[in-house]
Amino acid sequence: MEKSKKTTAAVSNPEVNIVWLKRDLRTQDHVPLKLAEDSALPYIILFLYEPSLIEYPDTSDRHLQFCYHSVKQMNETLTKTNQSVTECHGEAIEIFTYFTSNYSVQNVFSYRESGIKLTWKRDKAIKKILDSKGINWQQSQRDNVLRGIKNRANWDKIWYQTMNQVALTNTYSQKEEMTIDHPFTFPQEFKNILENYPNFFQPAGEKNGWKYLQSFVKDRGRNYNRHISKPTESRLSCGRISPYISWGNLSVKQASQFVVSNPNYRRNKRPFDGMLTRLKWHCHFIQKFEVECEYETDCLNPGYETMGYANKPEFLEAWKNAKTGYPLVDACMRAVIETGWINFRMRAMLVSFLCFNLDNDWRKGVYHLAQQFLDYEPGIHYPQFQMQAGTTGINTVRMYNPIKQSQDNDPEGIFIKKWVPELRDFPDRFIHEPWKATAIDLIDCGITLGEDYPHPIVDLKETAKVARAKIWGHRKTKEVRENKRRIVTLHTRNK
Ligand SMILES: Cc1cc2nc3c(=O)[nH]c(=O)nc-3n(C[C@H](O)[C@H](O)[C@H](O)COP(=O)(O)OP(=O)(O)OC[C@H]3O[C@@H](n4cnc5c(N)ncnc54)[C@H](O)[C@@H]3O)c2cc1C
């Protein structure tokens, strides 16, 4: 049992409300926390580490660590009022059964989760428990992601209306001290993992989210459009707020209002508008997933289920381990493994290379990148991954040529040399295509291809040609065309 405070409140099943935190780890612009504060009852704030989710293949330590340190930061604010987040390690069903048996829970307040099927099913089970006990579960809408819509009529209009509403200022009243006893303590080993958050990832929490946002509008963001596709420069010029938005350290409304209302906005209107457009995309993609969370496992356009792949395991391993022999591909994979972030274009290129050049089904790589992205957000990740893999049937198929990407966006090979140090001394003129170096060049820089750095594992031109014929050919099938109509109506029609 965890004993955190002085007196024991669980003796006679005291009346309480519960706030269930999910991807909303902040203290401001927080509707469920406001609802709890507005009620006369004391409330317990829960954050759960659920073994079934921790073990699921989309999750990695970095995600859990980010949550843990975000909660820590929330507690710095909340403890001033004798309140804190109660962190439990256990399955949601057991935890809610426990709390609803030991407390007289009146309401549960949370945001609505647009997650994977596992969390959707879990939420249904929790609803059953709460309903059976007559407990009201009020789920607030997150970032204008709407539940139960049949098409996108008026979605854009409602999004702008929501984003223009005043962001909530949460206030916290002084609380009576309350002991929250529960058996869901962390195993020591798990606690050690959570504590040891490597400092080469972006620091977690609300305060850090604001720091990144502030430095973007102050200075970094003026080159946003110019640098957005460049793997090195984008690290500075992009917003870099994605983990804070994904785990809810910042709401989309807070971020967009902050950018628009900043004095620098007028001076940097074009680049800042570029970033603001993407904040809308953030919600647009999650809306797709909210409607059909099967996109985690099924082709967005079911017509693509019959398209075959070679699925060679050795190619998949080379991609995952950044040993494909294509320097920019390998540099991107190493950068994202090491830091949790690469820009949009490089993410798209990694997927394109896996699915088109290496002829691997998107499902083979989708969890690997989910684990690496510190900003992993199911609602964006799966629809985006499929868009780049060409399985939506509604978007233009884009094949990214890693040599061209490298020449255009990393012309001097600065990014490549940082992340693929084997090539640090390689002559610049061959950095994008090391296999073209002459024997003398190779002796000169002391590199043996095939030993120090791999030969390219596939022929780029040949594989792209085959993939193009396959994907465009399949696009003409009856199944793909029929499903295309349905998808367009469901996800893209704006009235
Ligand atoms: C295969 C693939 C997987 C992706 N998976 C994720 C993911 O799991 N989580 C995630 O947040 N983004 C994902 N993205 C989108 C995009 O790459 C990241 O949002 C962006 O790189 C984050 O960097 P930033 O904060 O500097 O973004 P900025 O360019 O500064 O944009 C501001 C915010 O807008 C949103 N955004 C930006 N680009 C996109 C986009 N293309 N689609 C939807 N929202 C966008 C993000 O919330 C971002 O923080 C994915 C893209 C691809 C191609």
Residues having CB closer than 6 A to ligand 1 are 238-242, 245-246, 275, 278-279, 281-282, 285, 343-344, 347-348, 351, 373, 375-377, 380-381, 384-385, 388
In this structure, the residue with its CA closest to atom 6 of ligand 1 is: 381
Going across the sheet that includes 104-111, the strands are 85-89, 43-49, 15-21, 104-111, 136-140
| Per-residue confidence (pLDDT) for residue 493, from 0 to 100 | 58
* Whether the Cβ atoms of residue 484 and residue 391 lie closer than 8 Å to each other: no
Locate 463 and state its tokens. 């594989």
Report the SS3 class of residue 43: strand
Distance (angstroms) between ligand 1 centre and the Cα of 150 equals 25
Q: Point out the ligand 1 atom lying closest to the alpha carbon of residue 241.
A: 25
Going from the Cα of 341 to the center of ligand 1, the distance in angstroms, rounded, reads 10
| H helix and E strand count, the chain | 23, 5
CA–centroid distance, 239 to ligand 1, in Å, is 10
Please give the Cα distance from 489 to 473 (Å, whole number).
23
Helices (H), 221-268: 224-227, 234-237, 242-246, 252-261
Residue 270 Cα, ligand 1 centroid: separation in angstroms? Answer: 18
Sign of CA dihedral 281, 282, 283, 284: positive
Mutate to test the pocket of ligand 1, among 342, 354, 384 (most ligand atoms within 8 A of CB): 384
Q: Which of 278, 287, 349, 362 to mutate to test the pocket of ligand 1 (most atoms within 8 A of CB)?
A: 278
Buried b (16+ CB within 10 A) or exposed e, 125-134: ebeeebeeee
Superfamily designation of domain 15-140 = HUPs (3.40.50.620)
What length is written for the chain? 495
- Quote the CA–CA distance of 227 and 415 in Å, as a whole number: 13
Q: How far is CA 262 from CA 71, 152, 215, 235, in A?
A: 28, 31, 12, 22
Q: What is the pLDDT of residue 243?
A: 98
pLDDT of residue 32: 98
* Structural domain spans, the chain: 15-140, 145-165+206-291, 296-491
Ligand 1 atom 26 nearest Cα:
240
The ligand 1 atom at the shortest distance from the C-alpha of residue 343 is 21
Element at 86 (helix H, strand E): strand 85-89
Q: Whose CA is nearest to atom 12 of ligand 1?
A: 380
Q: What is the mean pLDDT of each run of 10 residues along the chain (495 residues)?
A: 42 90 98 98 98 98 98 97 97 98 98 95 98 98 87 87 95 93 97 97 98 98 98 98 98 98 97 97 92 91 95 98 98 98 98 98 98 97 96 90 98 98 94 96 94 97 97 91 84 59
Token reading at 222: 């003026």
Q: Measuring CA to CA, which residue among 434, 431, 462, 438 is closest to residue 450?
A: 434
**Which atom of ligand 1 is least distant from the CA of 385?**
1
Global confidence as pTM: 0.96
- Location of structure tokens 């920019």: 328
Residue 144 pLDDT: 85
Ligand 1 centroid–CA 281 distance in Å is 9
Q: What is the b/e burial string over 464-481, where b = at least 16 CB atoms within 10 angstroms of the residue's CB?
A: beebeebbeebbeeeebe
Which contiguous run of DSSP H or E holds residue 47? strand 43-49
pLDDT of residue 394: 85
Nearest Cα residue to atom 37 of ligand 1: 278
- Span from the CA of 202 to the centroid of ligand 1 (angstroms): 15
CA–CA distance, 372 with 337 (Å, rounded to integer): 5
Tokens of 395: 């978007």
Nearest CA to ligand 1 atom 53: 348
Cβ pair 354, 341 in contact under 8 A: no
For atom 39 of ligand 1, the residue with the nearest CA is: 278
For the CA of 381, the closest atom of ligand 1 is 5
pLDDT at 71: 98
Whether the CB-CB separation of 343 and 228 falls below 8 Å is answered with yes
Distance 242 CA to ligand 1 centre (A): 6
Distance (angstroms) between ligand 1 centre and the Cα of 375 equals 8
State the distance from the centre of ligand 1 to the C-alpha of 344, rounded, in angstroms: 6
Atom 48 of ligand 1, residue of closest alpha carbon: 242
Per-residue model confidence (pLDDT) at position 353 = 98
Secondary-structure class of domain 145-165+206-291 per CATH: mainly alpha
Give burial (CB, 10 Å; 0-12/13-18/19+) of 179. middle
- What pLDDT is attached to residue 447? 94
What CATH superfamily is the domain 296-491? DNA Cyclobutane Dipyrimidine Photolyase, subunit A, domain 3 (1.10.579.10)
Burial class (CB within 10 angstroms; exposed 0-12, middle 13-18, buried 19+) of 161? exposed
